[in-house]
Amino acid sequence: MSLSDEDYWARLAYETKHVKSEEPSFKPEKGDIRKWRGFILGTECYDGGVFEIEIEIPRRFPFAPPLVQWHTEIWHPNIYKGKVCVGILGKDWAPSNSIVDVIETLRILLAAPNPLDPLNTSAGNQMENDLERFKKTVKDYIGRYATWEKLQR
């Protein structure tokens, strides 16, 4: 199932209005409202981290979820090599979900990683078995990859 071209572009215009209100800002890449790039600020053990995210809206949207690419290296059970494992980007997607819902879900994923369903099994095992070492590894990754200074290069 997909929307007509007119309805697809109307939905993208609606999404654009709401995504632009997200802080720090998400912006269309090269003016193309089908592809957004922005930053999510870390919370909890990811506090102090700045993570660059890309969201691409496929032609089947809203009947198919957006595609998310995580550009900043991170030590996280549910994020690995640019891929993100969270239900809203797969089996839990619903046409009523929005791009802002996806961004909020990614923020929540930073605050509450799920080590029981890991994409990065090493991070998941470490979080489950040695939480203090996990937090130290997270901070090390933030210092090496996820600061404003690192992202400006």
CA Rg, the chain, in Å? 16
Q: Residue 57 carries which side chain, given as an amino acid letter? A: I
Q: If you search the block for the tokens 């203090």, which residue do you land on?
A: 132
Q: Which of 51, 59, 60, 101 shows the shortest CA–CA distance to 78? A: 51
80 near 120, Cβ under 8 Å?
A: yes
Tokens at 45, concatenated:
């053990």
Q: Where are the alpha helices (DSSP H) in the chain?
A: 5-19, 99-111, 121-129, 131-145, 148-151
Catalytic residues: 85
